[in-house]
Amino acid sequence: MTKDIVPISSVVLFGSGNVATHLAKALNDSGIEVRQVYSRTPEHAYKLAESKQVDAITRLSEADTSADLWLISVTDNAIEQITSGLPPFKGIVAHTAGSIPIDVLSGFSNYGVFYPFQTLSKERNIDYNDVPFLIEGNNEETTRRLLKLAGVLSAKVSKADSSVRATLHIAAVLSCNFVNHLYTLSADLLEKHGLSFDYLTPLIKETTQKILYLSPREAQTGPAIRNDTEVMAKHMERLSGNPSVQKIYELMSNEILQYHKTTGD
């Protein structure tokens, strides 16, 4: 007989950036007690803590050891620094990073990963019910408790080990971070010629909508997939004053052409 899962009802949150800010709100709104918010920058800790009416701490030694969960939501390269400065703790310690293995927390008895698979900005409100949460724990009980907590926030919760998360994180960088940088380059190009980025927003919306019912491969259009060398040559010439963007254009065009040749499209 499987024993009942003890719910996580109290959290200490380490971090004050985009993910930490969103999680503080989501947890509070879901009735989970966020007892403390830590940041090494006092003004950041106090700003987030005040907005959620919780305590702010700026020393790791001040972390509440009676909480159920310590949730580390800082930049990837700061996780080890945080964990090395924490006091002994019998509860669960989890981080929110997609590309960092669970083993970074192996100094604790109960540890895991609580990864919201979504791009988050402080200024944007998110419907957490649609956000996939990817969960891993170092033992069955920890995994079940983290899954249960995630289920309070979202309808899309699943187990995902470090290898799965690493693959998903790479895909997210390609499809989100890289694409957004291409938007930035497009905006710069338009601005240079006195044009508004607003011209592109209907195109971006339609492109995004198409991949909801077509595969990305099926949705591909443009001169590269048609191997329209004349148009691509004109584009390359027009970009001659911007060699870095010209290089990206050439690389992406060649990649699209070769990919669709290989797959027989």
**For 102, phi and psi rounded to 5 degrees?**
-65, -30
120 has a pLDDT exceeding 50: yes
The 10s digit of each residue's pLDDT in 187-244 is 999 999 999 999 999 999 999 999 889 999 999 999 999 999 999 999 999 999 999 9
The 10s digit of each residue's pLDDT in 5-37 is 888 999 999 998 888 888 988 898 899 999 999
pLDDT band at 123 (very low <50, low <70, confident <90, very high): low
40 vs 15, residue with greater confidence: 15
175 has a pLDDT exceeding 90: yes
17 vs 122, residue with greater confidence: 17
Kindly state the average pLDDT of the residues 179-189.
97
68 vs 9: CA distance, rounded Å: 7
Whole-prediction pTM value?
Answer: 0.84
CATH class assigned to 10-160: alpha beta
- The tokens for 166 are 């690493």
Task: Give the CATH fold of the 166-262 domain.
Answer: N-(1-d-carboxylethyl)-l-norvaline Dehydrogenase; domain 2 (1.10.1040)
Kindly state the average pLDDT of the residues 127-149.
93
Give 64: exposed, middle or buried? Use CB within 10 Å, 0-12, 13-18, 19+.
middle
Q: Alpha helices of the chain — where are they, by DSSP H?
A: 18-29, 42-52, 79-84, 140-153, 162-172, 178-192, 201-210, 216-219, 223-226, 229-238, 243-262
User: Within the chain, which residue ranges are assigned CATH 3.40.50.720?
Assistant: 10-160
**For 213, phi and psi rounded to 5 degrees?**
-130, -5
CA angle in degrees (0–180, nearest 5) for 68-126-72: 30
The 10s digit of each residue's pLDDT in 43-97 is 777 777 676 677 888 899 999 999 999 999 998 899 999 999 999 999 999 999 9
262 vs 37, residue with greater confidence: 37
Residue owning tokens 């402080």: 122
For residue 2, the model assigns a pLDDT of 55
230 vs 238: CA distance, rounded Å: 13
User: Within the chain, which residue ranges are assigned CATH 1.10.1040.20?
Assistant: 166-262
Which amino acid is residue 110, in one-letter code?
N
1 has a pLDDT exceeding 70: no
